[in-house]
Structure 1
Amino acid sequence: MMDGTADLALVRICIAFGMFGIAAAMDMRQRYVDDRLWVAFGAVAAVLYFFDFRQMDITIATLSMGLGGAASYLLYRTGLFGGADALALVVFAALLPTYDGRFFLEGISAKGQAHPLSPLMLLSNAAILSFTHLVVNMVKNAQYGARHRSSLFAGMEGETTTRKALAVLLGHRSNGSGFAFLMEKNCGGVRKFDFSLKPAEDTPFESQVGVWVMPGIPFLVYMLAGLAAMVFIGDLAIALLSSFAGIL
C-alpha cells in the first residue's frame, strides 16, 4: 500500500492529466484555451500544498517552479509558445514541481532516466514527441507529389535543393483548411520560402489553396503525451542518449 506522500503524488499526476486532457481537446478543436482553465487548476495546485507541504523538498520545488516559469516566459517571448502553452507549463510546475519516478513501468529503471525537475522533463519530452509532425508533413508532401507529379515545387523553381528539403519537413501545400501559417513570401514578384518564426497569437491562419504553409502545431497535445512519457518512462532525452551510448 502506498503511503500518504505517494497517494498525493498520484493525485497531483491525475489532476495534471485532467488539465492537459481538457486543454488538448480545446486546442485541437479551436486552437484556443479558456484562461479560466488555468485559474481553476492553479487554485487546485495551491490547495494541494496545504496537505503535503512538510513532505516536499522546498528548495527543489522552488527551483523547479522558477525554471518552469522562466522557460515559459522565454519560449513565449520568442514565439515558440502560444499563451496557452506558456500558462500550461507554469500551472503544471505548480501542480507537480517534482517527480521521483515512482510510477515507472515495471522493468524500467529510474536510474539515469529521470531528474526531479518535472516542468523541464515534460517540456523536453513534448519537444521530442513533436518531431513526429515532421513525418506527417513528409507523408502529406509524398501524397501531393503522387497526385500532382512535378508540381510540388511549382512556382518555387528558383529555391535550392536544401531549402526545398527543409520545406518538405516543416510544411506542405495548403488545401485551404486547417490551422496553418503561410510559409512563403513574395520578393519582387518571385515566390520564396519563409521559414521565420511567427507568433501564434498575432499571425492569422492561412486559407489560400496551393500555397506553402507551416502547420500550427497543437503543442498541448504533445505536452499531454510528454506527461505520459514522463510518468511511465522518464526523461526521453536521457533515455535516448543512454540507449545510444549503450550501442556505442
Structure 2
Amino acid sequence: MFAVAAFFDVKERKIQDIIWLVCGGTGAILYTVELPDAIDIVSMVVGVTLASTFWFFRLYAGADALALISLSVIFPTYHDFIIPLSMVVIATTISVIYGIVYNVAANSRTLLLDNKIFEEFDEPLYRRIAAFFLIHKRSKSEQFAFPAERIVSGRKKFRFRYDPDDEFSKDDVYVSLAMPLTLFFLIGLVGLIITIISLDLSFSVCLQNCDLS
C-alpha cells in the first residue's frame, strides 16, 4: 500500500486520502488482535507529533504528514528503531542531497549556456550563492516545482520558502523542487530494514565462525 502511495507521489505529487484511510484502518484492525507495546505507542506519538508539527509550520504537505502518520500506525518500530523518527531523518537527508545535486547541475548548465545567472535579481552575493544550491530555472518538461521568485517594490527577489500545498508553477521562472517525500520514506524504510537484516546475518555468521574456530 505504501508503494502505491509512493507511485502516485512520483507520478502526480498527489495521493488520494483513501490510501491513508486504508493504511490507518489496517493498523487499527491489527491492534484489536494484538495490543501495541509501550515502545510502539511512544513511536506512534512521536510520529503523529512530528507530522502535525511539520504540517503546521508548512514544512510538509498534507499528504506527506498523512504518510508519516500512517507509517507510524502500521509500522511504528523495527528492532527497537523508532520508525517515524528514522524516516524523517533519512527522508530529509535524501531530499537535501537530491535537491542540492539537482539544482547545482541545472544552474551549472544555465551558466554554461547563458554565461550568466541570476542577473535579473536584485539580491546580495550571499543570497545568489545560496540560490545556486536551492533553486533553478524551470525546464519545459518539469511539472512539479514551486515558484521561487517574487516582485517586491518593483524588484525581483528570491523566494526560498514555499507552502508545500501551493499550486505548481507552469511558467518559465526560477523554481524550487517539489520533493516526493513518500517515495523517500519508502526508500528509507526498505533501506533501513535491509541494513538491519544484513547486519544481523553478518553478526550471526561471525558468531558461527568464532564458534567453529
Shorter-chain TM-score tier: 0.7 to 0.9
Identity level (%): 28
Which position in structure 2 is the counterpart of 1:94? 73
For 1:167 and 1:95, the matched residues in 2 are separated by 39
Contact 1:175-1:208 at 8 Å conserved across structures:
no
Match of 1:204 among 167, 171, 175: 167
Structure that is richer in helix per residue: 2
Match of 1:143 in 2: 109
Q: Which residue of 1 aligns with 2:126?
A: 162
- 1:171 deviation in Å? 0.9
2:3 to 13, 17, 21: 21
Q: Post-superposition shift, 1:229?
A: 2.4
Name the Cα RMSD after superposition: 1.6
- Give me the whole-angstrom Cα distance separating, in 1, the residues matched to 2:109 and 2:58: 30
Q: Which position in structure 1 is the counterpart of 2:52? A: 73
SS at match of 1:175: coil
**Alpha-carbon separation, structure 1, partners of 2:14 and 2:174:** 24
Q: Residue 213 of structure 1: SS of its match in structure 2?
A: strand
Return the letter of the residue paired with 1:83: G
Q: How many Å separate the matches in 2 of 1:20 and 1:41?
A: 8
If the length of structure 1 is used for normalisation, what is the TM-score? 0.73
Unpaired runs of 5+ residues, structure 1, are 1-18, 101-114, 235-248
**Is the CA contact 1:181–1:206 (under 8 Å) kept in the aligned structure 2?**
yes
Aligned to 2:160: 195
Q: 2:149 aligns with which of 155, 178, 184?
A: 184
String of CA shifts for 1:100-144, please: whole Å, max 9, x gaps.
0xxxxxxxxxxxxxx531111111111111122211111111112
Q: Amino acid of the residue matched to residue 153 of structure 1?
A: F
Mapped contact 1:20–1:223 kept (Cα < 8 A): no
Q: Return the TM-score normalized by structure 2.
A: 0.85
Aligned-partner SS, 1:200: coil
2:188 counterpart residue number: 226
Higher RCO, 1 or 2 (CA under 8 Å, sep at least 6)? 1
The CA deviation string for residues 69-105 of structure 1, in whole angstroms up to 9 with x for no partner, is 01000000111111111111111111111110xxxxx
Structure 2 residue 139 is the aligned partner of structure 1 residue 175:
yes
Stretches of structure 2 that go unaligned for 5 or more consecutive residues are 197-213
- Give the 5 Å matches for 1:11-90: 19-53=1-35, 56=36, 58-90=37-69
Note the C-alpha offset of 1:194: 1.6
- Counterpart CA distance in 2 for 1:52 and 1:140 is 51
Question: Is residue 2:176 matched to residue 1:217?
Answer: no
Total equivalences in the alignment: 194
